[in-house]
Amino acid sequence: MAKLILSMDGLVLKEIPLSKERTTIGRKPHNDIQIDNLAVSGEHAVIVTILNDCFLEDLGSTNGTLVNGNPVKKHFLQNNDVVELGKYRLKFVGEAPVPAATAEKADFEKTMVLRPAAMKAAAEQARAMGAVGAEAARATAAQQVAASAASAGTVEKEARPAPAPISATATTPTPIPAHTPAPAPAAPAAPAAAKSPHPLGAIQILSGANAGKELELAKPLTTLGKPGVQVAVLTRRPQGYFITHVEGANPPVVNGQAIGTAPHALKDHDVVELAGVKMEFFLKG
Amino acid sequence: MDLSQYLEFASCTDPGMVRSHNEDAVAADPANGLAVLADGMGGYNAGEVASGMATTVITTEIQQLLAKVKPYDLDPESNKIIAGQLVREQVMKANASIYHAAQSQPQYAGMGTTLVVCLFYDNKALVAHLGDSRLYRMRDATLKQITRDHSLLQEQIDSGLITAEQAKHAQHKNLVTKALGIDPTVEPEIREYETRPGDIYLLCSDGLCDMVADEDISMTLEALGANLKLAAQQLVQMANDNGGKDNVSVILVRVLREYPAARGVVGKFLGWLK
C-alpha cells in the first residue's frame, strides 16, 4: 500500500497509509489528514487511490499545492514525489515495485464483478492485443494443454495415496519401500511453493510381518491402517505432523494413550498403535 | 422422500488466515438433497449480507416448494421435469432480493455474490452456478471440475489467449463475469449430471481452489472419504496452511446408494413415453 510521510522542517511527524479510496487533506478536523496550520486551507487537497495509482488533486486551496516545487491542480503521484502545503511536506512512497510480491497480492484481491460493458471493452482490448499472435498462441496453447494433461495424469498416479502400504502394514508381506510414494513432483500451483520447509518425518514399523520397514511421510497426508477396521491419517503441516482418527470403533493409541477424535500432534519417537501394529514416528534430519 | 439416508453431507467454512471476517456462506439440507454455497463481495459487511441472503433465500424457498411438489414432477405445460425451472426461479428470486437491497440501502451498494447450488434427486445432481465458486466430482479416484467459472480468466482460456498453466499465475483471478445481485436479472448456468453411489461432490469457494492444488484435493478426498467431516476440515486446514488468503468454504456430499424417484404409475408411464 502506498503511503505519505508527513514532515515539517525535516522532522518526520507521521506516516499515513493511503488505505482509502479518497484521502482528504486540510486544516479542518474532518479531514483524513488534518494539518492545523493557517497556511493550509480547510479542505486543501485530496488523494484519490485507484488500485495501485494515486492522484493528487488541489481542492481550490488559497495557498496552492506544490509537487516537487511546481504548483499543481491535478497530479499523478510517482514514487518519492514531495507534496508541499505551506511549510509541511508530504513525501509519497508508492507500493514497492516487486513484481512477484505484487503479482501474488493481486492474485488474492477481493473478488470483483466485471460489468458487461466493461467486459466487452476488456474483451476487445484483449482481442486487439492478441490478434497478432493469436493463431500461434492457439497452436502452442493446444500443445501445452496436451502436455499438461499428460503430466497431470502421471502426477495423479504418483500422488495417489496408494492403498498398498495400508494393507502392507497390516497383513501382506509386500515390501513397503516399493510403494513408498515419491514426493509429489513439485506441484505446479504456487500455493505448494508457499509451504514452509520442515523436517521430513517417517514411520518405522515395530511389530508384525513388516517389522523394520520404513515409510517416509512426504505427502501432505498419508493414511495408515486397515480400511473398514481402523484407519488414521498422518497430516504434514507447517507446524509439524499430526495424527487423526478417520474410521473404526477405536481411535489410534499414541504412547499408550488413545487419542480421541481430535488431531494429535506427533513428536519425535512417539509410538503409535494402529490396527494391531506398533510403529514409531520419527523426524529425519 | 427423505434423502438423508441416501446422501451424506459435511460442510466447513472458515475466514482464512488473512481476512477478518467471513464473506462466504454455506447451507445444506440433507433431507431435500440440497447444498448451497455463496462467496459474497462488496465493501464493509455487504459481502456477508449478499452471500447470507443468497443461501437463506434459496434454501428456504426450495424447502417450501419441495414440501408441495417433487423435483421430478412434470410441468403440465411443457411436460418437462420441473427441477431445472424450480432452481432457476429461486436463484432469480435471490438475485432480485439482493439487487433490491443493494439499490435501496447505500451501505449495501454494489454487493453481490457468487453461487453454486446442487439439488440431488432421482439419481441426478442438478447444478446451478454463477461466478467462480465451483463444483467438483470425485469418481473412481479421479477428481473432475464440473462447473466452469464465469470469470475473465476462464474466458481467456476458452478463447486461447492463455493456457491453463499460465492461468495459475495470472493476476486477475478475482474478476468474475457473472454474479448474483449485481444486475436486475441474471441467468444462472444450469446443468444436470447422473450420480453414482460412491461419488463425492465438492462445492467450494475460490479460497480453496486458489490455495490447494487439485492433486491435493483429490488425495484428501480419496484418503479421507470414509470420514466426510474430517475431509472437509482437512481441506480447509490445507488452504489455511498454504496461506489462507481468502475465506475458505467447502460442502461435501457423498452418494451412499441409489435414490431413484418414487414416481406414481402415471409418472412412470409418462417418463416411459418420452
B241 → closest Cβ in A134, A231, A237: A237
Query: Is pLDDT at A260 greater than 80 in this prediction?
Result: yes
Model pLDDT, residue A117: 58
Model pLDDT, residue A176: 40
A to B CB pairs, distance under 8 Å: 148
Q: Return d(Cα A217, Cα A233) in angstroms, integer.
A: 11
Mean of all residue pLDDT scores within chain B: 90
Query: Is pLDDT at A108 greater than 50 in this prediction?
Result: no
What is the mean pLDDT of the segment spanning A35-43?
A: 90
Q: Are A47 and A91 in contact (CB under 8 A)?
A: no
Q: Which helix (DSSP H) or strand (DSSP E) does residue A236 occupy?
A: strand A230-237
Those residues whose C-beta lies under 8 Å from the C-beta of residue B50, and which sit 6 or more positions away, are B38, B40, B41, B42, B98, B102, B108, B111, B112, B113, B180, B181
What is the mean pLDDT of the segment spanning B86-102?
A: 94
A119 → closest Cβ in B177, B179, B211: B177
Q: What is the pLDDT of residues A194-226, one digit of tens each?
A: 444 678 899 999 988 888 889 889 888 898 888
**CB-based burial label for A95 (10 Å; 0-12, 13-18, 19+):** middle
Model pLDDT, residue B198: 93
Query: How far away is chain A from the Cα of B259, in angstroms, using its nearest Cα?
Result: 24
Tell if the CB–CB gap between B165 and A160 is shorter than 8 Å: no
Model pLDDT, residue A42: 92
Query: How far away is chain A from the Cα of B13, in angstroms, using its nearest Cα?
Result: 17
Which residue in chain B is spatially nearest to A225 when comparing CA positions? B223
**Chain B residue numbers touching A221 (CB-CB < 8 A):** 219-220, 223-224, 234
| Position A96 confidence tier, pLDDT thresholds 50, 70, 90 | low
**CB-based burial label for A64 (10 Å; 0-12, 13-18, 19+):** middle
Model pLDDT, residue A121: 62
**Chain B residue numbers touching A137 (CB-CB < 8 A):** 160-161
Query: Is pLDDT at A118 greater than 80 in this prediction?
Result: no
Coil, helix or strand for B145?
Answer: strand
Most confident of the ranges A115-129, A175-189, A245-259 = A245-259
Q: Which helix (DSSP H) or strand (DSSP E) does residue B192 occupy?
A: strand B189-194
Tell if the CB–CB gap between B213 and A187 is shorter than 8 Å: yes
For residues B7-43, b (16+ Cβ closer than 10 Å) or e, as one string? Answer: bebbbbbbbbeebeebbbbbbbbbebbbbbbbbbbbe
Most confident of the ranges A7-11, A45-49, A145-149, B42-46 = A45-49
Model pLDDT, residue A26: 93
Q: Is the pTM of this model over 0.90?
A: no
Within a 10 A sphere around the Cβ of A180, how many other Cβ atoms?
Answer: 19
Tell if the CB–CB gap between A194 and B242 is shorter than 8 Å: yes
What is the mean pLDDT of the segment spanning A252-264?
A: 89
Strands A33-34 and A22-26, sheet pairing: parallel
Model pLDDT, residue B172: 76
Q: Are B200 and B225 in contact (CB under 8 A)?
A: yes
Q: What is the pLDDT of residues B149-176, one digit of tens each?
A: 999 888 888 888 888 888 877 777 778 9
Of A10-14, A46-50, A94-98, least confident by mean pLDDT is A94-98
Query: Is pLDDT at B93 greater than 50 in this prediction?
Result: yes
